[in-house]
Amino acid sequence: MITADDETRTLPQGGARAQSTGLLELILRAGSSAEKPMEDYGWFGPDSVAWRVWSYPTALTVGFSRAVVVEELDPFLIAPVKSTSKIYSQPRVRYDRTLRYFATYLFADSRSVAKAAEVLMKVHAAAASSDPVSGLISDPNNPDQQLWIHITAWHSILYTYEMFGPGKLSAADEERYWQECAIAAQAQTIDVEKVPRSREEVRDYFTRMRPRLAASEATQEAMNHLMHAEVMFPPVPPLLKPGFRLFAWLIRHGVIASLPHWQRDLGNVNHPRPLDMMIRPALRGAFAAANISPWVKVRLLGILSPLTVPVAGPMLLGIKPRSEEVLTPAETFARHGVPTPRELYEQLSHDQSIVKYTPSAPLSAEDAAIWAVYRSRRRAGGAVPVASQTCSRA
């Protein structure tokens, strides 16, 4: 999640203009921009479990919010997120473009998937930075970091679908879901053999990752900020603001209710325990109502993420592509003449054996000043500087 911020630069800059568009105009635009058919079905298609789970209203709201919150617990992910982050200065832009990236490899045609994967790899290569806590280089294209992001996303989307949506999948459908998770992993540098293929394997993965996770001041700050769902909203009329605030409150507490207590403690994000039970029926009812019509989902998507409508709209409306073909990742990259992410990583990887700061050594005056400016500007809502990078290519 790929970091939560870096993929925002893989998509057209026009999205920034959409952020200032009025609510009514966003709703009207959504209808027209959702009707253009894709070239093909990409990697999945209407019979896939991934389409069923990721198209439910829990996915783009509480599920996606949970994913970006949990992934911040990886200390090597928080370094590039903080040093290049727009999650504070341009939160709605970041949310819009990040969601579009995930929707692309799930719902878009094969050409769009191949292009998005290539562009993101190059963006990530420029975003590597030193982690001030460990002193090591954090490379966003690192296959293990990409796996962490990928699993937190697929697990969060399924978990919130179960918790606030229709409920658990059948055993056969869940098996297919994790098989499709492994297919989607090939949009990044991930070693597909390391991708969990069952609920038990996912639990084992999180058990083995837990000792590697930590929550610094920056982590807690980011987790708390990312649970403020108001960042997803466009400007709204005063009469509608109370309703949007209530929805944001429900999303925040839905995310917290879905987190295990050890993650809440690490992130310093808690709420009264009775809310864990009270929040479920409220969100279940809201999402069931939103799921009543494909056009309702398209227009809600137009409000929350205008850039995602042309990608997910045809899927939501059942518009068939020009070719009803489902491609494998290998066929996709070969057909469109794009290197696979693992092939591209051989050119773009960074040497992560570099130790910029030895244990207990302070940052350089230059780097310390950059982080100080970052904090002051972030609190003021201004531009965030890019931290100095000392990254050698492998």
Does 199 map to a domain?
yes
d(CA 295, CA 301): 10
Instruction: Pick the more confident residue, 373 or 361.
Output: 361
Question: Are 4 and 144 a contacting pair, CB within 8 Å?
Answer: no
Does 194 map to a domain?
yes
d(CA 141, CA 391): 13
Question: Are 67 and 307 a contacting pair, CB within 8 Å?
Answer: no
Does 192 map to a domain?
yes
- Nearest of 148, 181, 141, 170 to residue 43 by alpha carbon: 181
pLDDT of 20 above 60: no
Query: What average pLDDT does the segment 54-67 reach?
Result: 95
Instruction: Pick the more confident residue, 374 or 140.
Output: 140
Instruction: Determine the pLDDT at residue 165.
Output: 97
Structure token pair of residue 61: 């709201």
Instruction: Pick the more confident residue, 347 or 24.
Output: 347
- The amino acid occupying position 340 is T
Instruction: Pick the more confident residue, 359 or 56.
Output: 56
Question: Are 85 and 219 a contacting pair, CB within 8 Å?
Answer: no
Its domain, for residue 185, covers 6-380
Instruction: Determine the pLDDT at residue 80.
Output: 60
d(CA 44, CA 184): 9
Q: What is this structure's pTM?
A: 0.85
d(CA 141, CA 138): 9
pLDDT, one tens digit per residue, over 149-191 is 999 999 999 999 999 999 999 999 999 999 999 999 999 999 9
Domain count, the chain: 1
d(CA 190, CA 181): 11
Instruction: Determine the pLDDT at residue 293.
Output: 93
pLDDT of 87 above 80: no
Residue pointed to by tokens 């796996």: 147
d(CA 70, CA 4): 11
What percent helix, strand, coil does the chain show, rounded to 5?
A: 65, 0, 35
The per-residue b/e assignment along 377-393, b for 16 or more CB within 10 angstroms, e otherwise, is ebeeeeebeebbbebee
Does 365 map to a domain?
yes
pLDDT of 96 above 90: no
Instruction: Determine the pLDDT at residue 373.
Output: 57
Instruction: Pick the more confident residue, 352 or 53.
Output: 53
DSSP-assigned beta bridge partners for residue 130 = 137
Beta pairing class for 137-138 and 129-130: antiparallel
DSSP-assigned letter for residue 240: G
Does 387 map to a domain?
no
For the beta carbon of residue 354, count every other beta carbon within 10 angstroms: 14
Type and span of the H or E element at 129: strand 129-130
pLDDT, one tens digit per residue, over 212-268 is 898 888 888 888 888 888 877 888 888 988 999 999 999 999 999 999 999 999 999
Does 1 map to a domain?
no
Question: Are 38 and 100 a contacting pair, CB within 8 Å?
Answer: no
Instruction: Determine the pLDDT at residue 15.
Output: 45
Residue pointed to by tokens 């997803």: 232
Does 276 map to a domain?
yes
d(CA 290, CA 160): 15
Question: Are 109 and 42 a contacting pair, CB within 8 Å?
Answer: yes
d(CA 373, CA 380): 11
Does 185 map to a domain?
yes
pLDDT of 323 above 60: yes
